[in-house]
Structures are given as structure tokens and as C-alpha cells.
Amino acid sequence: MTMFNKLLDLSIIYSFDQSGYQRHARLFSELNAVKFAGKHFLVTGGSRGIGGAVTQALLAMGAEVTVTARTQQDFDANFAGQAGVSFQTLDLGNFEAIQTLHLGLYDGLVLNAGGMPSQPTLVDGQFDTIFGAQVVGHYLLLDRLIEEDRLRTGAPVHWVASGGMYLHKLQLDDLGWQQRPYDKVTSYANAKRAQVVLNGLLAQRYKKLVFSCSHPGWVGTDALAKALPGFTNRMGKRLRTAEQGADTILWCLEQRQQLKSGLFWFDRHPRQTRVFFWTQESEADRLALLALLESVKARY
Ligand SMILES: NC(=O)c1ccc[n+]([C@@H]2O[C@H](COP(=O)([O-])OP(=O)(O)OC[C@H]3O[C@@H](n4cnc5c(N)ncnc54)[C@H](OP(=O)(O)O)[C@@H]3O)[C@@H](O)[C@H]2O)c1
């Protein structure tokens, strides 16, 4: 990489934005449709935005896709009449519903659903929606898929995290925001940090699956416009498209066993999960996260 490119990457802005994607993508080769044809993928939050672009690309390459989301409206608007795609209602903050979801047999899983609601809703009496759905809900879904042998050996499991986690250290106190004023940006960064930590932990635990995690850059989706309208307006056309945001997710699915399990990716390159020493969690923190998730699992 040239010094100039390194400087642009260090600027963050000219890396996470659309120009960063275009610069990095100069070296990308086209995805190989053969690796997707006839395969069945489960994509949470696949009805619109980045997950919608993942679904659309998978279908175009001949895959079958099961999409989940809380509401069907966006799915109908984006996928009505298309072959190979089906929808199942699933609120990942509803842990009972995760246990009764109809499951198929999948060649890959994308844990993408997410957002940054302005108001917290208490989930399971102890989590806000962000942590409850994106971390605990996804963990319970993944756990069920593994326990019921619904993921083929070697299947890729991909977490869609965010660069927002770079500023945050994992913390597990007051995850329902009952003892302090709710701060959606901090909760989001914490949930995304937890996803990155889990990606590494689960890669060690489940050797038959290939875990990966990525951040998509800054993508002009509904979620971003609602969560950060000022930022969305300032960035304007410099935000990435949903297709650009989906690229590394699809690439990780395509690479499968060629990837080392448990890494964090951005624009098809493995990246550090920390840039600030104070965001390093301890082994005890990691074990506490797993213990917390297992304790929820034991109740559902
Ligand atoms: N946009 C960005 O710049 C950006 C940057 C970094 C990371 N990300 C991450 O990328 C992922 C996709 O974001 P996006 O920008 O594409 O958002 P989006 O356009 O709002 O799409 C979010 C998807 O998730 C579903 N969803 C949201 N909350 C859910 C819940 N509690 N249970 C089940 N499904 C839920 C939504 O459908 P329903 O509303 O019908 O449930 C929708 O299908 C998220 O994990 C987000 O954190 C985005």
C-alpha cells in the first residue's frame, strides 16, 4: 500500500466513505457465482439496507435466501415475486419467538439485523433493544442453529458489526440502561464490540463453522438516516451504497474455509479490532459475556 493510501486510511473519513470503498475496490475481483448457486443462506434483517443488498446479490448468483425481519413491508417492496427468496417474521428482541422460528438447513448465516433506536425498550427485563436483539437475540438464534444441526459443516457465519466499536470497551453493567440516562450511540458501540468479541470466542469453540465479522463503512441506509440525521446530511453522496456496504459480507461468504475463522474484516482485508489500548477487554470480561449469554439461553 502506498504512503498516500495509508494516510487516507488513517483519516477514517476517506476510508469509511464511498471514496474509501472505490479506492480499496480497485483490487477486488468479481465474486464467483458458482460458489453461491444452489446454496441456502439465512440473512437476519435481509429485507432492506445492507442486508437487503446481501439478499439481492445472493439471489442474483443463484442462491436461495431466507430473510427475517420484524415487519414484512420492506421485504414485499423489495422482493415480491422474486424466485428463491422467502420471509419469516422475527423480532430478535423476542427470545421466545427465536425458539419457535421455523428452521431450514443452511449453507451460511448472516447476522445483520440491527439499528439504533432513540428510545430503549426493555428486553428480558435486563437489556435494551440494541444489546438484546443484536447480541443476545443473534446468539440465541445461532445457538439453536448449531444445537439442531442446521448449519452445514464449514458454513460461514458472519456478524455485521460497526467501526463504532473502535471507540468502546466491552462493558456488561446496566445493559438495560435502568440506572443512567440512555445513550443510543454508546449502547450501539458496546453491542458491536460484544459482537466482535463473540466472533473471536465462537471461532475457538466451533471449529466446524467459519466465523467472520466486518464493518461495512458508512452506508446511506434508513437506519443511519434515522439514527444520525445530521451526519447523514453532512456526508450526503459520500456515504456508501448498500451494495458497497454488502461487498465484504458477500466476499467472506464466498471465501468460506479459505478464511481464518474469527477475524474482523473491512473492505476484504483483515483489520485490527482495537486502535486504542483502553478498549482492550480482559479474559474475565470475555468469560462474563459468554456466561451472561448462557444464563439467558438456559431460561429459553
Ligand atoms: N448503515 C451504516 O452506515 C452501518 C454502519 C455500520 C454498521 N451497520 C450495521 O449494518 C446492519 C444493517 O444496517 P442497515 O444500515 O442496513 O439498517 P436498515 O436499513 O435499517 O436495515 C435493518 C434491518 O434489520 C431489521 N431489524 C432491525 N431491528 C431488528 C430487530 N430488533 N429484530 C429483527 N430484525 C430487525 C430491519 O427490519 P425491521 O425493521 O422490519 O425489523 C431491517 O431488515 C446493522 O447491524 C447495522 O448496525 C450499518
Buried b (16+ CB within 10 A) or exposed e, 253-264: bbbbeebebbbb
Do the domain assignments include residue 3? no
What percent of the chain is predicted at pLDDT more than 70? 100
**CATH for 43:** 3.40.50.720
Do the domain assignments include residue 217? yes
- For a mutational test of ligand 1's pocket, the pick from 54, 112, 193, 215, i.e. the residue with the most ligand atoms closer than 8 A to its C-beta, is 112
Do the domain assignments include residue 1? no
Q: What is the pairing mode between strands 269-271 and 263-266? A: antiparallel
Do the domain assignments include residue 14? no
Do the domain assignments include residue 11? no
How far is it, in rounded angstroms, from Cα 50 to Cα 274? 24
277-286: pLDDT as tens digits: 999 999 999 9
Do the domain assignments include residue 20? no
The count of domains in the chain is 1
How far is it, in rounded angstroms, from Cα 12 to Cα 20? 9
4-35: pLDDT as tens digits: 888 888 888 889 999 999 999 999 999 999 99
Question: Given this model, what pLDDT does residue 189 score?
Answer: 97
* Grid cell digits, residue 161: 458489526
64-115: pLDDT as tens digits: 999 999 999 999 999 999 999 999 999 999 999 999 999 999 999 999 999 9
Do the domain assignments include residue 124? yes
Q: How many CA atoms lie within 13 A of 101 on its CB side?
A: 32
Question: Given this model, what pLDDT does residue 3 score?
Answer: 85
How far is it, in rounded angstroms, from Cα 268 to Cα 298? 36
How far is it, in rounded angstroms, from Cα 69 to Cα 62? 22
* C-alpha 68, offset from chain centre: 13
Categorize the per-residue pLDDT at 1 as very low, low, confident or very high, splitting at 50, 70 and 90: low
Tell me, in angstroms, the distance from the centre of ligand 1 to residue 180's CA. Answer: 25
106-141: pLDDT as tens digits: 999 999 999 999 999 999 999 999 999 999 999 999
Structural domain boundaries, residue 173: 30-299
- For a mutational test of ligand 1's pocket, the pick from 13, 65, 70, i.e. the residue with the most ligand atoms closer than 8 A to its C-beta, is 70
199-233: pLDDT as tens digits: 999 999 999 999 999 999 999 998 999 999 999 99
241-278: pLDDT as tens digits: 999 999 999 999 999 989 999 999 999 999 999 988 99
Question: Given this model, what pLDDT does residue 12 score?
Answer: 87
Query: What mean pLDDT is reported for the chain?
Result: 96
How far is it, in rounded angstroms, from Cα 253 to Cα 22? 21
216 Cβ inside 6 Å of ligand 1: yes
Do the domain assignments include residue 23? no
